[in-house]
Amino acid sequence: MPFSDFDQLMMRRALDLARLGTGYARPNPLVGCVITHQGRVIGEGWHQQYGGPHAEVHAVHAVTEPHLLPESRVYVTLEPCSHFGKTPPCADLLIDRWVAEVVVCNLDPNPLVAGRGIQKLREAGIRVETGLLEQEGRHLNRRFFTFQEQQRPYVVLKWAETADGYLAGPYFQPVPISGELARVAVHQWRSEEHAILVGTRTALHDNPRLNVREWPGQDPVRLVIDKNLSLPPKHHLFDGTQPTVVYTYRERARQDNVDYVTLSEAEDLFPQILQNLYQRTIQSVLVEGGPTVLNSLLKDGLWDEARVIRAPHQLGGGVPAPRMGLTGLHEQFRVGADEVFIYRPH
């Protein structure tokens, strides 16, 4: 049975609600839910915070006329869970409230669910339809799907470059490149990703905090590559204010909210890092440099999205911005005086 325009409108509303959980629901997926009765919205909700009630729970509790639920149609962006985790199964809640129909955007790739929620609903006599706005739903939860299907985090590369293609001055001297509005956008991006990664040179020359200051949201887990443990211990990365992981070829015990992960020099660096992040249930990482790190990930194809901020002014020389393997321009827009280019490899 084809979906109606009203069905699509309600699922788009559910997707919009799901986005409100960005940065807070992780590592859980973003989920929104809308409940309708005879063409009227009677309840809606979204997964607001990890460990808290799921979208279906918020939506059901928002219904002020619960006697209408047995005649209701529920739109949810991801298959209702069928297992006990931090909260009881949402499939059981919908069954207990005798809802008539459930429309699902995406099936859940998590092996703990993976069709079991749909099966449980159907066995209870609830009509279930799937696949409404499926591609939009996969894009919304691209971090979750990448983590579940590829057993690694979703990798976002980010850098700012001048109009003539440089991202730092000679000998990696830090220079201001992007404008104020673009810097605010970067802090928004930081709030949306689970972790943030820099290499040794960036950590040494920029002494970054890698936190969220100009946008509301949670700080990401800080990641730094320091193969020989050469970074000054007084740098901001080691101030203990947020969880930090150092990837190194040396051994050092955890201290002051900083973990040290010893990697093998005999194996490629980034597959080891991505595997460790998967084991830590970190679903996405924003890579802010430097050029060696960015070029390595581009060359090896270990990236899912690249966000390039291009400023209007020129530098005349310095450290060249990455170019190798950068393909698939998907989006382009302006932020203040700067242009932002969004690339995806496929």
DSSP letter string, 20-58: TTTTTSTTSPP-EEEEEETTEEEEEEE--STTS--HHHH
Residues 166, 320: contact at Cβ < 8 Å?
yes
Task: Write down the catalytic residue from 44, 56, 79, 193.
Answer: 56
What residues contact residue 117 under an 8 Å CB cut-off, 6+ apart? 79, 80, 81, 82, 89, 90, 91, 108
Residue 30, φ and ψ in degrees, nearest 5: -85, 125
| Known catalytic membership, residue 56 | yes
Residues 17, 44: contact at Cβ < 8 Å?
yes
Distance (Å, whole) CA 93 – CA 97: 6
Distance of CA 71 to the CA centre of its chain: 36
DSSP letter string, 282-308: --EEEE---HHHHHHHHHHT--SEEEE
Write the Ramachandran bin of 318: left for phi over 0, alpha for psi from -120 to 50, otherwise beta: left
Structure tokens at 263: 């990697």
Distance (Å, whole) CA 168 – CA 176: 8
SS3 string, 99-148, reads CCEEEEEECCCCCCCCCHHHHHHHHCCCEEEECCCHHHHHHHCHHHHHHH
Which amino acid type is present at position 333? F
Distance (Å, whole) CA 191 – CA 317: 32
Residues annotated as catalytic (active site), given as ranges:
56
